[in-house]
Every structure is written in C-alpha cells, then in structure tokens.
Structure 1
Amino acid sequence: MSQQGLGLSSRLRYLAGRARRIDVGSVVDRAKEAAELHDKWTPAVLVDMLWQAGFRNVGFQDYIDYDFAILTRAERDTYMTHPVSNQISQKYDHPDFRHLFQDKIAFDRTFDPFLRREWMVVEPGNAAEVRALAERLGTIVTKEPVGQAGTGVHRYHAAEIDDWDGFHRGLLERGELLIEEVIRQHPDLAAVCPGTVNTTRVTAFFDGERTHILAMAQKFGRGAVSDQMTFGGFYTMLDEHGHATGPGYDSHGHVHATHPDSGAVIADFQLPLFDEVAAFVDQVARVVPQVQYVGWDIVVTPEGPVLVEGNWGAGVYENKPSVTGIRTGHKPRYRAAIGF
C-alpha cells in the first residue's frame, strides 16, 4: 500500500514508537497461538508477523484477530489494520478539536442534542442536585471524563445509597464527574443482552460534503455496565444492511455462536431502525467537521438512535475468517472514501 496519502513522517514516527514498546515475549506467544490454531509452524508464523508489522502495516494483534496466518497476500490487503487507522486519525482529525472527543464532559456539551438523555456534572456543593437526579432516575451511570475501553464507567442504584453527602464526596474523590441517565435500548437489542446497553460502533469518514460509513460492528455485553471486551463483551460485524455477518468474537479467542446468557443466535441479529442509524451518523459527523474520521458509538432505542460517544482514534473492527468464513475486510471502503 502506498504511504503517500497518509504521510511518510507519521508512519515512521509510529513505527519508531512501536519498536521502542515491543514486547518480544508477547510477540512469540502470539505467534505460538496463531500456529497452534491454524496448524502452522511457529518460526514461520513469527517471521511472517514481524514482516507484516514492519513492512505491511499490520499490528501483532491484528495478525491474530483477523487470522492473517491463513490469508493470502491479496486477502490481507483488503483488511484495515490499527497502524493504518492510526495514520488516518493523525492526518484527518485536527489536534485542536480532539479534546472534544477525549473529554466526556466536553463531548456531552458539544453533542447534547444527540444524547437524548439527562446528564449533569458533579461539582463541589451540588450533592443535593446529584441526589435529586439519581432518585428521580432510579439508576445512574457515572463516568470519569477521560477513559477508554469502558474504564472509568460505573453504575449505581439510588435505592442502595444511604449517605448522599458521602456518595457525592466519593464521586469527586474518584473523579467520576459525569452522571448520565441509563439508556433504554430497543427490544431487539435487549433480547440479546438486557443487562447491558449494547452499542453499535459505526466507523465513518466525513469528507466535507458527504459522510461515508466505512464499517459497522455490533457489540454485546454480558450484563456489566459496559459492553467492552474488558467487561466480557464481544462483537459481530454488520453488513451494509445492518445484519450480522456471523457469530460473535473477541480478541481473547472466544467465539459466540449464541449469546452465553440469553441464548440468542448472533448470526440472526438485525440492527433495528438501520436507515435511521445511517442518517443519524451523517448528522453527528457534521457537528465537528474538523474531526473527519470517527468511530461513533450509538445505541438504538425504541424512539431512534442516540449517541454514546465518538472516538477520534477510531480503532478497528474487522471480519474474522475462521469464524465467519469471510476472507476479505473493509479497507477498499476506506480507500474509496479517503483516497489513500
């Protein structure tokens, strides 16, 4: 892949950073994992992993997650990878506006019309307001302003709180400064996992005139406050009509043909109100046009889609060939929209 469109200097800086952080033992373990899974020779897989990382922009975890050990070169070239995604983010997400996505309070203020739920900021002296909101809502979600992969997100039930001054003080001390109303998800999502608000990750690029949807993944939780993998969650890719392309999977080698708790067949999932979701993504992408490449986390409710957050470092969600049988990825969509 040509690097002209994404900038050679940013690529070199990224590679230098990776070289400094490389964990040789971890790389060897991953090579062994891939070799055992796909009946390959470990030294050959290890050399291939290093080659792909150094010269083909493939992260070590990308190599494992997307089964590169069994793909041809042509098939590999269709996969979006984290190093390439990072280069796109660095080029098309203006650094002066990234804080609006990194800071959850700034994000809620910026995108308030699209949240469609109540929220407030915890500050010294507003314990009474916190109590009033929590008791009216019954259950609340608190967030630390800066966090990722679901870290810093907590859920509280008002009926279980006796000391409201102490609760308020604890929120301040722990940095849980944002309170949000719990989202009521669409019944089709609740049928898969009712205990977690299940988000749809829509990776999109706004070219200044048109919003291009590049990839869509449906995440499912396990009853925890977040559907991220750190909480036991997993995902399945969605096709251009919002239908699951196969079973669910994660980055820890777990495959879920059915949801472990509800028994719902993951491959049968259809995202409800899909056309409304596509139109909604186009709306939110225009709010901060200086940040063009974003991974939007959206939840479909009975009344329509609502916004959870936007990730200027969009990350990557891709097909897993050994699970879905699909041996091509989404990079052609990225190239067509972005032009690299």
Structure 2
Amino acid sequence: MNFKKIFTADWKSLHAVIKHMHKVSGRSRVDLFRDMYACYKKGYTWMGYMVNGFYKYTDENVRRTFLSEYVDNVKIVKETISPEAREILRDKGKFSEVYKDFLKREVIDLRLSSYDEFSSFIDRHERIIVKKPFGEGGKGMEIYLTSSIDNPKDLYDKLKKNDTTIVEETIVQNEKMSEISTNSVNTIRIATAIDLSGNVTVPYMTLRYSVGDSFLDNASLGGVYSLLDDEGVTVGPAYMSVPYEKIFYSHPKTNYDFMEFKVPQIEEVKSIVKEAALVVKSARYIGWDVAISDKGPVIIEGNQTPSVDLYQTHVHLKEPKGPVKIMEKALDIKLR
C-alpha cells in the first residue's frame, strides 16, 4: 500500500465527493472521511469508496466482495500478465503492430515513420486522431481535419516534439451507437479472462459514452458509463463519477433514453476480443476498448490495468455484492 498517494491526493475533488456523500447518506463529513481512510488503508481509492457505494454499504462482509484498486487489482495484474505482455499493452505503437488484424483501420507510429510516410497517410484520410504512445485516460488526444492542415511538415515536427506519435485513421461509428451520444465514439470496455486451463471468458462489459461536447467517452474526463448484461443491454442508468457522483436516465441535451439501450453486434464484440485474447497468451487478463464502426466491431486498445470501478458501481448492482468471486473464478486466482 503506497501511503505517499495521500499527499498527492486532489483534496478539492475529495471535498466535493465527501460533500455529496454527506448529502445523500446523512452521515457526517468527519465520519465519512474516517471511513474512507480506513478503506484506503485496505487498498480502496477515494473515488472507489463512492463508486462502490461504501457510504451506504457499511457491512464489512459486503465490502469484502468488492475489488480494491491498490491491492486486488495490483495482484490480478501481477499474477496474470507477464512483464513482456504489459509492455505491449502499455505502448500503443507496439499494441497496434501486435494486434493490427483487429484494428480495421490504418495506424502509423511516428517514432518509426518518416515525414513522407506521414504525408502520404494524411493524403489518404479525411480525419486523423493523434495520441501519445503511453497516454492514459484520453489525455493528449486530438483530432485533425486533414484538409485544414496547412503545413504537414510543421505538424509532423510538432507531434514528434510533443511525443504525440501515434496517428490513426478515425473511426466512422455505427449509426445505432451514435444514437446514444453523437459527439463521441462510444466504446465498450470488455474484459477477457483466461483461466489456468486456457478457457477464455468475458467477466464483464461496460458501455462508455459522453453526455457533453467532448469527443472522448473516458470516465476520468467526465464521461458516463453503464454496465451491460450478457446480451449487451444497459443495466441501470448512466453513471458519472467526476467530479462527483451524478446519475442520468436520459441524455441531458437530446433526452435520448439510456435505459435498456442494446449495443448492436454484441456477439461479434465478444468474438473479436476472445480471438484477440489468444494472441499474447501470457496476458491472461485484458480490458479491451471496442468501438462499433461501419465495418463492425474494432478494437481501440487493450488495457493492462483496467480500473475496477467500471464494473462494480453500486447503481448498476441488483444486490450489494461486488465481483470478487466472479474474477476469482474467471482467472483461477485467490483474492480472499
């Protein structure tokens, strides 16, 4: 447990979270803070405390069914993903090469590509998206309309200087997926787990989308998410965790109903990640981000340390019970 994180905490955001939980639970701020700190020492994050609903679930037997970020998730990654596999998943350039058959779009890495290759790339595509090779949570991403690029050489030099070296053809989203949120490419976070016998399963799926003007759906940037059932249907309302808990039953701008939205081609989504999971078998657990394009499901990236928050949010649970047992069974791992 890294207690140094206490001193780097975002105290302004933490105050907003405690204020919200005090309002909805009736518990005092002091009581909530003390309880959050006790849970933090067991590996639960400040945000995870709220997302898990620990402000209302106070029974220790209930809480133990929820996964902690700093202890359980760290153990899962350490025991199920080799260092070599983690490096492939961490580096978007290496990932794009190893899993290129599942991307269904063109990607170049400016660490390896010349200016002439970059220039030819932007000539072939109307829009491009640029990313940092080790970026997380959507930070540093930008979209360019190639017809508006006045000086491609200047852009090439700028991207290399800023270490924004992953350049991708943008995805044309499936029409049904655009209904739920028109601004972002809405993605499914879907996990694959390989047990010690080699069986591949999907322990959870979550739909992520935007309710604002951003083209990104990341929860860490104010996006929302809903748990999906095995048929790809949303379970409960959309949930926002940043800057604090908010719940949406419909889109605040379009009034589109979020309840029981069905993701199209969900069996194809499961199929593509199960096949991809076997490419690097030393990565027994991967959290995939998948979009539904006009060409069908496409893999955006694979996450080596997928957050536990997305699949154990209290508003999506039928009963106060977390997924510890589910993950133990899927990965043949002991967590409790």
User: Which TM-score bucket, shorter chain as reference?
Assistant: 0.7 to 0.9
SS of 1:120 mapped into structure 2: strand
- Who is 1:335 aligned against? 328
Q: Which structure 2 residues correspond to residues 174-213 of structure 1 after superposition, within 5 A?
A: 174-208=162-196, 209-213=198-202
Contact 1:144–1:176 under 8 Å retained in 2: yes
Instruction: After TM superposition, list the pairs within 5 Å mapping 1:1-340 onto structure 2.
Output: 15=1, 17=2, 19-23=3-7, 26=11, 29=15, 30-55=17-42, 57-71=43-57, 72-83=59-70, 84-122=72-110, 126-208=114-196, 209-221=198-210, 222-252=212-242, 253-316=245-308, 317-322=310-315, 326-338=319-331, 339-340=333-334
Change in 2 beyond 3 A, CA 1:335/1:304: same
Check conservation: 2:237, 2:259, Cα contact below 8 A. yes
Q: Give the whole-Å Cα distance in 2 for the aligned partners of 1:59 and 1:204.
A: 24
Q: Residue 46 of structure 1: CA displacement?
A: 2.5
Question: 8 Å contact 2:137–2:221 — kept in the other structure?
Answer: no
Deviation per residue, 1:17-63 (Å, 9 max, x gap): 1x1221488397344442222111233222322222324x4222111
Conservation of the 8 A alpha-carbon contact between 1:143 and 1:177: yes
1:168-213 superposed Cα distances (whole Å, 9 cap, x missing partner): 2212212221111111222111111222111100122112511121
Residue identity opposite 2:5 in structure 1? R
Partners of 1:168 and 1:124 lie apart in 2 by 12
Contact kept, 8 Å, 2:226 with 2:316, in 1: the verdict is no
SS in 1 for 2:167: strand
Deviations 1:201-235 (A, max 9, x none): 01221125111212211000244342113443111
Q: Distance in 2 between matches of 1:40 and 1:130?
A: 57
Q: Give the CA RMSD over aligned residues.
A: 2.3
What SS class does the counterpart of residue 245 from structure 1 fall into?
strand
* Partners of 2:109 and 2:166 within 8 A in 1: yes
What SS does the corresponding residue of 2:190 show, helix, strand or coil? strand
Query: Alpha-carbon deviation of 1:262?
Result: 3.3
* Segment of structure 1 superposing worse, 123-132 or 191-200: 123-132
Ranges in structure 1 where 5+ consecutive residues have no aligned partner? 1-14
Question: 1:142, 1:153 within 8 Å by CA — same for their partners in 2?
Answer: yes
Residues 322 and 101 of structure 1: is their aligned pair in 2 closer, same or farther, counting only changes over 3 Å? Answer: closer
Q: Single out whichever of 190-199 and 225-234 deviates more from structure 2.
A: 225-234
Amino acid at match of 1:292: R
CA distance in 2, matches of 1:315, 1:33: 22
**Partners of 1:319 and 1:326 within 8 A in 2:** no
User: For 1:214-271, what per-residue CA distance to the aligned partner results, in whole angstroms no more than 9, with x for missing partners?
Assistant: 2211000244342113443111111122110111112222222212343321123111
Query: What is the CA-CA distance between 1:123 and the residue it aligns to?
Result: 5.2
Q: After superposing the two structures, state which structure 1 stretch, 283-292 or 25-34, moved more.
A: 25-34
Q: What is the count of residue pairs matched by the alignment?
A: 323
C-alpha distance 28-124 of structure 1, shift in aligned 2 (>3 A): closer
- Cα displacement (A) at 1:139: 0.4
Q: CA 1:54–1:137 in 2, change beyond 3 Å: closer, same or farther?
A: same
Alignment CA distance shift 1:230-1:41 (3 Å): closer
Aligned residue for 1:142, secondary structure, equals strand
C-alpha spacing 1:323/1:101, structure 2 compared with 1 (3 Å): closer
Between the aligned partners of 1:308 and 1:82, the Cα distance in structure 2 is 23
